[in-house]
Amino acid sequence: MIQVLPLNSATEEKNISFSLGELVAGLRELLPDDGVLLEEEDTRPYECDGLSAYRQLPMIVVLPSTVEQVQEVMQLCHKLGVPVVARGSGTGLSGGALPHPQGVVLSLAKLKNILEIDPAARTARVEPGVRNLAVSEAAAQYGLYYAPDPSSQIACTIGGNIAENSGGVHCLKYGLTVHNVLKLKVITQQGDMITIGSDALYSPGYDLLALMIGSEGMLGVVVEVTVNLLPIPETTGVLLAAFDDVEKAGIAVGEIIAAGIIPAGLEMMDGFAIQAAEEFVQAGYPIDAAAILLCEVDGTRQEVEEQIRLVREELLACGATEVRQAEDELQRQLFWKGRKSAFPAVGRLSPDYYCMDGTIPRHRLPEVLKGIAEMADEYGLRVANVFHAGDGNMHPLILYDANKPGELEKTEELGGRILELCVEVGGTITGEHGVGIEKINQMCVQFSPAELAQFRAVKAAFDPDGLLNPGKGVPTPRRCSEYRTLHKGHD
């Protein structure tokens, strides 16, 4: 069996040494009493993110309420050599915000102000603790919205979206976080404030904006974000198509794109996920279907009518047994509520579930679905499949019971093999959840030693002391050597 190497093994960490008393005293000088959490009952809620399979009790949690306080905390931690893990709302699913046992968890939850909305420039300046959905709610009065919409958008924050380069159900047409951000203000590990990007559409020099977005808190702490806003479409239309075979639904995804149609959203759920979501939300899904596709198009009324007609033709040609159009905005929202509630819906069917996040070329979707089903049977575990099908971003949900000895390890192994299948067909180990600690072994599969050396060089350029979110994202050479040896034995 391939073992998941522990985060704090000698393969990842160097010795950390500092005076705890000096750190606590320094933090209490910088922050109010309720801004420094030391007692276990106060720090326990920060022991994990949404990936609850990995837990680590924080040593200290700090909650600054101003950018200046963030900067001062970073300067103090740099001076004393203390690791720092920045944290948003904790909805991440890769263990990216797992605390360091000898470090500070820097919560940005109190930095939740929308600083400015500029309807003429179609931009918003926000602090990192602002919820994703709150941006669109604030911009709606100007006829604008923020396009990236993760399923957790009611709770996830812009800072966390930056860290993981989040997408959502509408990323096919409108892009990921990286495609919708103009400028960042960042505190470095040394405590300096830098601005990356600009209010213009282009900035000279290296594209550090793209580098910082998706860096999982390992290069700097984001304290302000300028995002692009888009006009709310004149109208939208949503089709729900049912299929009696999962592979037919996978083929339909490719055919819609090949027809020259770029839907605003193109989502897929298999039969297991359909039944769970319908029981949870009552979205009107056909529970006897092997798979459904949700296809949304937006634009002018004439554009939407024409594209709905073309999409319907493609779906029927690919073997859809039923195609329904949302009759009104209420039903459209209900269709999407079922999809966005898929994770908690599946969670009601099992004591635990493990959410994977890989991306594949669209045309390989049918064979990958078949491969996942075969591996699930091999491991004796149930898997519900939910996809951002239009861009090939898969979210297989592996159901397990952590109370059964060895079942978590078996689940992790199956998850790793699914990700490695994604790499094998030309895809990648993550689409929007990040690497964190969950996928750090699979980084050794996707990238060569030379490529990983370049990642480590970038990390060292921003964080030479290795104190920002250490042990995440980029594996050490030794870890890869050990994992490749185990991986070869498994093969």
Per-residue pLDDT reduced to its tens digit, 23-64: 999 999 999 999 999 999 999 999 999 988 899 999 999 999
Give me the numbers of helices (H) and strands (E) for the chain, helices first please. Answer: 17, 19
The answer to whether position 202 is within a domain reads no
Residue with structure tokens 């951000």? 181
The answer to whether position 229 is within a domain reads no
How far apart CA 59 and CA 21 sit, in angstroms, is 12
Question: Tokens standing for 436?
Answer: 């964190």
> Residue 14 pLDDT > 90, yes or no?
no
Assess contact for 52 and 437: CB atoms under 8 A. Answer: no
Question: Tokens standing for 318?
Answer: 């690919």
How far apart CA 414 and CA 412 sit, in angstroms, is 5
Higher pLDDT, 16 or 273: 273
> Residue 7 pLDDT > 90, yes or no?
no
Q: What SS3 state is found at 399?
A: strand
Q: What SS3 state is found at 472?
A: coil
Q: What SS3 state is found at 155?
A: coil
Q: What is the pLDDT of residues 79-122, one digit of tens each?
A: 999 999 999 999 999 999 999 999 999 999 999 999 999 999 99
The arithmetic mean of pLDDT across residues 213-242, rounded, is 98
How far apart CA 392 and CA 338 sit, in angstroms, is 20
All residues at 6 or more sequence positions from 474 whose CB lies less than 8 Å from its CB, including other chains: 218, 435, 440, 443, 452, 455, 456, 459
Assess contact for 319 and 247: CB atoms under 8 A. Answer: no
Q: What is the pLDDT of residue 491?
A: 52
Q: What is the pLDDT of residue 5?
A: 38
The answer to whether position 284 is within a domain reads yes
Q: What is the pLDDT of residue 2?
A: 31
What confidence tier does 488 reach under pLDDT thresholds 50, 70, 90?
low
The answer to whether position 261 is within a domain reads yes
Q: What SS3 state is found at 157?
A: strand
> Residue 473 pLDDT > 60, yes or no?
yes
Share of the chain above pLDDT 90, in %: 88
Q: What is the mean pLDDT of the chain?
A: 93
What pTM value is reported for the model? 0.92
The arithmetic mean of pLDDT across residues 362-382, rounded, is 93
Q: What is the pLDDT of residue 414?
A: 97
Range of lowest pLDDT (156-160, 192-196, 199-203, 308-312): 199-203
The CATH number of residue 323's host domain is: 3.30.70.2190
In the chain, the amino acid numbered 117 is I
Q: What is the pLDDT of residue 53?
A: 86
The arithmetic mean of pLDDT across residues 228-239, rounded, is 97
- Rounded to the nearest 5 percent, the helix, strand and coil shares of the chain are 40, 20, 40
Range of lowest pLDDT (126-135, 186-195, 391-400, 480-489): 480-489
Number of domains composing the chain: 1
How far from 48 is each of 45, 430, 434, 435, CA to CA, in Å?
Answer: 7, 20, 15, 15
> Residue 140 pLDDT > 70, yes or no?
yes
Q: What is the pLDDT of residue 319?
A: 97
The answer to whether position 418 is within a domain reads no
The answer to whether position 108 is within a domain reads no
The answer to whether position 77 is within a domain reads no
E strand spans, 144-290 = 144-145, 181-187, 193-197, 221-228, 230-231, 235-243, 265-270
> Residue 1 pLDDT > 90, yes or no?
no
Q: What is the pLDDT of residues 287-329, one digit of tens each?
A: 999 999 999 999 999 999 999 999 999 999 999 999 999 999 9
How far apart CA 23 and CA 206 sit, in angstroms, is 36
How far apart CA 155 and CA 49 sit, in angstroms, is 13
How far apart CA 68 and CA 437 sit, in angstroms, is 30
Assess contact for 272 and 283: CB atoms under 8 A. Answer: no
Angle at CA of residue 78, ends 73 and 81, nearest 5°: 120
> Residue 131 pLDDT > 60, yes or no?
yes
Residue (of 160, 120, 167) closest to 144 by Cα position:
120
> Residue 354 pLDDT > 50, yes or no?
yes
Domain of 292 in residue numbering reads as: 235-345
Phi, psi of 233 (to 5 degrees): -60, 150
Question: Tokens standing for 226?
Answer: 């300028």
Angle at CA of residue 437, ends 432 and 438, nearest 5°: 65
Q: What is the pLDDT of residue 10?
A: 32
The answer to whether position 163 is within a domain reads no
